Amino acid sequence: MSVAKISRYPVPEIKDLHADIREAILAVQEKAGFVPNVFLALAHRPDEFRAFFAYHDALMEKEGGLSKAEREMIVVATSNANNCQYCVVAHGAILRIRAKNPLIADQVAINYRKADISERQKAMLDFAMTVAANSGSIGEAHFETLHGHGFSDEDIWDIAAITALFALSNRMANFTAMRPNDEFYAMGRDLA
Amino acid sequence: MSVAKISRYPVPEIKDLHADIREAILAVQEKAGFVPNVFLALAHRPDEFRAFFAYHDALMEKEGGLSKAEREMIVVATSNANNCQYCVVAHGAILRIRAKNPLIADQVAINYRKADISERQKAMLDFAMTVAANSGSIGEAHFETLHGHGFSDEDIWDIAAITALFALSNRMANFTAMRPNDEFYAMGRDLA
Amino acid sequence: MSVAKISRYPVPEIKDLHADIREAILAVQEKAGFVPNVFLALAHRPDEFRAFFAYHDALMEKEGGLSKAEREMIVVATSNANNCQYCVVAHGAILRIRAKNPLIADQVAINYRKADISERQKAMLDFAMTVAANSGSIGEAHFETLHGHGFSDEDIWDIAAITALFALSNRMANFTAMRPNDEFYAMGRDLA
Amino acid sequence: MSVAKISRYPVPEIKDLHADIREAILAVQEKAGFVPNVFLALAHRPDEFRAFFAYHDALMEKEGGLSKAEREMIVVATSNANNCQYCVVAHGAILRIRAKNPLIADQVAINYRKADISERQKAMLDFAMTVAANSGSIGEAHFETLHGHGFSDEDIWDIAAITALFALSNRMANFTAMRPNDEFYAMGRDLA
Amino acid sequence: MSVAKISRYPVPEIKDLHADIREAILAVQEKAGFVPNVFLALAHRPDEFRAFFAYHDALMEKEGGLSKAEREMIVVATSNANNCQYCVVAHGAILRIRAKNPLIADQVAINYRKADISERQKAMLDFAMTVAANSGSIGEAHFETLHGHGFSDEDIWDIAAITALFALSNRMANFTAMRPNDEFYAMGRDLA
Amino acid sequence: MSVAKISRYPVPEIKDLHADIREAILAVQEKAGFVPNVFLALAHRPDEFRAFFAYHDALMEKEGGLSKAEREMIVVATSNANNCQYCVVAHGAILRIRAKNPLIADQVAINYRKADISERQKAMLDFAMTVAANSGSIGEAHFETLHGHGFSDEDIWDIAAITALFALSNRMANFTAMRPNDEFYAMGRDLA
């Protein structure tokens, strides 16, 4: 395991954190077996930590029209377009697990148009890439295309909002030089 | 005043909102004299509303090395690059007020390099524009340039994090077709 | 009023100008109440001054299928894409006045797709943006789309030629660091 | 000689033109041996014709710090970047003649960095390409670089203004589908 | 004739080359009347030389659904987009000769949409430009469009493979600063 | 193992191939334990197959100043920029093995600036990315920077030529929809 720095900024000791943050971190550690570095890197700014994970959970953990694997596809595809190492590696692992598919994360990251996903999912990612790169151009035609693939207006909000949240997250990870945990790289690669 | 739609999505009645959201909205109404549409548009999703404004306040309302006007400059410059009508118009108004300068918002939005701001502020906006458009390229050299202008590492986090939050916000406003309140356009234009 | 430089280049005294140029400037001063800086900045080169304003008047002052407000929309939208502070601010003021609409200039500058204008006007601006950014791609399909919105071939010439003239004008203003007069920023904001 | 259309728009008969335009055209025909199509295509709009050629002559025919060949280099390099067939072909011919060099026009059009020109001329074209593509970024550093190559502020105005005029001209030629005269292609190719 | 360097790298003497390479070069010299510089520049690396010309001949010399002039159009259009002086000048000459058309090479290089070629050829070049600039976006729709113009799947392979080979070739010529022979510039310009 | 199509084009049976191609394929199968799909997909065109692998071996298998892992880094970084699924996945596997590092391929693919590689290797990849995306801009300054990191002119040829070969290869894989073998995804991920 590497001992490389996980952020360009100071990383607090878990024991020194506010109780709510410490508990959130210990809970994810219990579940994942390790502490994903994003929790430690963002804990440098407790209020921003709380807001970020509240936003994250509101979009990624709730019930809704998009499957959890589909939400991770959005993260992985747009994060590679933004050259965000942390988000592609960490959410790639989660995508493999949620989709129970060891190939899908690399496929979606590099070129979702060639991935083993449905036409509906490709349309979802077409829209996410537009939100990521050129949101000013969004108009009625985008909604009609997505409606044609069976997405509701609330599903479209989810696609766009997840893309928007990771537009934030990618930029945070990039300027802090946030390092993905070594554990993520191989997770979920031995499925099926 | 126009009666145009303020969002492509349903906008709740204030009376129907959760108490915490309703109170937040009434507080801003009391202060501003009207309810900025972003509050109504985002209230369609209460959990996201709470997370967004928690994040916003953590960055925009706290004490710190950047003046409040400087924070608004970051929002205005990067939001015009993202073609976000709501953010340029609303935060342009706030910038005029905070900077006590009726010209500065339009200058910064259209071309901050020609604005009546300091070289230090131009360096701040150079970096913000890189975070907005090409965050994957950020490296040591950017930090050195900003240190040379007197920005601390914590100031740099603030610049980048504000840019990142409005990367999110611009995309939300663009896909929801969020409409700036008519009141914002002329606010702060009659300052000395 | 600011006393900032209005051009990186020498600005002649009005009294030292050739009679025709001096008269043109005094006429606009009489009408507008002040001398727009573009007249003073370009007077540094009298022959270019004469050619520029002859071109300008040939397109902007004549009768034709485009309303005068529509012509200003073209200027404002393409000038923001070119980061031209002078043109967005000065022609934004004229647009507000000609359209009798205090909101329209900022809307069109930041994102004309979300402006309070007709579908026909949005098609006009789609074409103008293509002329501004990628004129080599123009072909039959663009003419057909515009004909479908009721534009004649002569109207299309007007849209393209106005865009082309401000492609020139934006570049002149940008390299000379031409400064918009302070008066323009608030003009036309109290209409209706 | 081809009989292809020279413009998407109606082209007037020389005999039907206003006297001043007809005389200008006959003069160039006498000098060149043929009428360059730009004169016929723009004659569709007499006032714009007059303004365009007044502007052209003010920049391209006057005395000044840039040689006439250098002015044509600016036209050729920026017009290829704008995919303007008329301007590259016609001004390429003029460049070959003015530089007395049969190779230079193609070299400058395709990649001026590899052309048989001086470092000073490459710096001139670096700046012209910035004016053509990204004039909003121009600042003090560009002027310093050019001063270092011996260009005066008035020379810099000439470089930028020629680029700006052909930003206009390229767009006019592109939307009108202006066709270069067949004669231009081989002109000046047999120079020593 | 110029005596400028033909490559940034050492250029071997023909007499010092391996027999197969020397014979290939003498054969082309016999046919063309001079040795195109690409043969000398690439001979610096004999194994790469052999592979390059084997690839070149496999695509450019074989029988197939694309005429030899059409193959050169692909080279010329995509090489100008890549600012490759050697490829535009040398293959422009070959295109003029193969198409028996003195105008076509400059037209296709600068803007193939305005060239004197068929709609089918324009569709071929649209696809080639996509392969050159954005091959990751290629999908079923591109194949359907080309089928509609009568191209078979094998023709489409040829279009894409020629574009791909010159993606390689353009980059080789650009980093080695490969100089086109002076002879190419005027070749084929006096055809009927 | 998936039974998805490995190319949009017909894939020959190994038994039907020319002897030299069949032997090359059986040799790689013996070494790797499976036949990488690029061999089968390109075998559709035997002459191009032979030229491609001759080129590949001339650059990737020879001795030279770049380590074999460094050559694979060039492939992986530029292939992700070109959205080439086959090349990132297959050469990512080879990179992990050659570098004996299970993390390096994903790091280099997503953002080589943040990878666990040396400053010299980052300079190598900066140059490769310029060759991949903007080879027309290459000039003396690029060579000086690389010399400063200890690269010889022959090393620089290798960097550029590998990038150029995969510019070709990425485009071939993209238009044929070449599918990476499932085996590649997990290869080399369990290295110490």
DSSP one-letter string for F63-118: --SS-HHHHHHHHHHHHHHTT-HHHHHHHHHHHHHHHT-SSHHHHHHHHGGGSSS-
Low-confidence ranges of chain B (pLDDT < 50): 1
Counting CB pairs under 8 A, whether chains F and C reach 3 or more, is: no
**Residue E110 pLDDT more than 90?**
yes
Question: Chains with ≥3 Cβ pairs under 8 A against F?
Answer: A, B, D, E
**Residue F38 pLDDT more than 50?**
yes
pTM above 0.90, yes or no: yes
Structural contact between residues B84 and C110, judged by C-beta atoms closer than 8 angstroms = yes
> CA-to-CA distance for E31 and A3, rounded, in angstroms?
64
Q: Kindly state the tokens that stand for F150.
A: 């200890």
**Residue C192 pLDDT more than 60?**
no
Q: What is the rounded average pLDDT of the residues D114-125?
A: 98
Radius of gyration of chain D from its Cα atoms, rounded to whole angstroms: 17
Interior angle at CA A176, CA A175 and CA A179, nearest 5: 120
pLDDT band at C1 (very low <50, low <70, confident <90, very high): very low
Structural contact between residues E101 and E116, judged by C-beta atoms closer than 8 angstroms = yes
pLDDT digits (tens, 9 = 90+) for C78-95: 999 999 999 999 999 999
Question: Chains with ≥3 Cβ pairs under 8 A against E?
Answer: A, C, D, F
Q: What percent of chain E has pLDDT over 90?
A: 96
> CA-to-CA distance for D159 and D162, rounded, in angstroms?
5
Q: Kindly state the tokens that stand for C183.
A: 């008066």
> CA-to-CA distance for E190 and E96, rounded, in angstroms?
10
Contacts of D30-38 with CB under 8 Å at 24 or more apart are: D33/D183, D34/D181, D34/D183, D35/D181, D36/D90, D36/D181, D36/D184, D37/D6, D37/D7, D37/D86, D37/D178, D37/D179, D37/D180, D37/D181, D38/D86, D38/D90, D38/D169, D38/D173, D38/D178
pLDDT at E41 (0 to 100)? 98
pLDDT digits (tens, 9 = 90+) for C117-172: 999 999 999 999 999 999 999 999 999 999 999 999 999 999 999 999 999 999 99
* DSSP letter, residue F51: H
> CA-to-CA distance for B127 and B120, rounded, in angstroms?
11
- Asked if C109 lies within 8 A of B114 by C-beta distance, the reply is no
Structural contact between residues E136 and F82, judged by C-beta atoms closer than 8 angstroms = yes
> CA-to-CA distance for B49 and B52, rounded, in angstroms?
5
**Residue C2 pLDDT more than 60?**
no
Q: Spell out the residues 6+ positions from residue D39 whose beta carbon is closer than 8 angstroms to its own.
A: D24, D25, D28, D49
Tens of pLDDT along chain A (192 residues) come to 456 899 999 999 999 999 999 999 999 999 999 999 999 999 999 999 999 999 999 999 999 999 999 999 999 999 999 999 999 999 999 999 999 999 999 999 999 999 999 999 999 999 999 999 999 999 999 999 999 999 999 999 999 999 999 999 999 999 999 999 999 999 999 865
- The reply to whether E67 touches chain C by the CB within 8 Å rule is no
- The reply to whether B190 touches chain C by the CB within 8 Å rule is yes
pLDDT digits (tens, 9 = 90+) for E37-49: 999 999 999 999 9
> CA-to-CA distance for B82 and B88, rounded, in angstroms?
10
Closest CA to D64 of D171, D187, D162: D162
Q: What SS3 class is residue C122?
A: helix
Q: Give Cα separations from C92 to C62, C106, E133 (angstroms).
A: 20, 7, 37
- The reply to whether C82 touches chain B by the CB within 8 Å rule is no
pLDDT digits (tens, 9 = 90+) for F89-116: 999 999 999 999 999 999 999 999 999 9
- The residue in chain F having the minimum alpha-carbon distance to the alpha carbon of residue B137 is F113
pLDDT band at F77 (very low <50, low <70, confident <90, very high): very high
pLDDT at E1 (0 to 100)? 44
Q: What is the rounded average pLDDT of the residues F28-34?
A: 96
**Residue C3 pLDDT more than 90?**
no
**Residue F88 pLDDT more than 80?**
yes
Interior angle at CA A137, CA A159 and CA C128, nearest 5: 175
Please name the member of E48, E157, E165 whose beta carbon is closest to the beta carbon of F168. E165
Tell me the residues of chain E between 42 and 61 that have a Cβ less than 8 Å away from chain D: none
Question: Chains with ≥3 Cβ pairs under 8 A against D?
Answer: B, C, E, F
Q: Kindly state the tokens that stand for A33.
A: 């077996």
- The residue in chain A having the minimum alpha-carbon distance to the alpha carbon of residue B47 is A58
Average pLDDT of the residues of chain C: 96
Average pLDDT of the residues of chain D: 96
Q: Kindly state the tokens that stand for F56.
A: 């590949």
Q: For residue C58, give the H/E element and its range.
A: helix C46-60
In B, which residues are within 8 Å of A176 by CB distance?
A: 157
- The reply to whether D111 touches chain F by the CB within 8 Å rule is yes
How many Cα atoms occupy the beta-carbon half-sphere of C125 within 13 Å?
Answer: 30
pLDDT at B4 (0 to 100)? 80
Q: Spell out the residues 6+ positions from residue F83 whose beta carbon is closer than 8 angstroms to its own.
A: A110, A111, E135, E136, E137, F170, F174
In A, which residues are within 8 Å of F107 by CB distance?
A: 85
pLDDT band at F128 (very low <50, low <70, confident <90, very high): very high
pLDDT digits (tens, 9 = 90+) for D18-54: 999 999 999 999 999 999 999 999 999 999 999 999 9
pLDDT digits (tens, 9 = 90+) for E83-109: 999 999 999 999 999 999 999 999 999
Distance from CA of C138 to the nearest CA of E (A): 9
- The residue in chain A having the minimum alpha-carbon distance to the alpha carbon of residue C111 is A136
Q: Kindly state the tokens that stand for A161.
A: 């909002």
Please name the member of B80, B92, B106 whose beta carbon is closest to the beta carbon of C89. B106
pLDDT at A1 (0 to 100)? 44
pLDDT at F190 (0 to 100)? 87
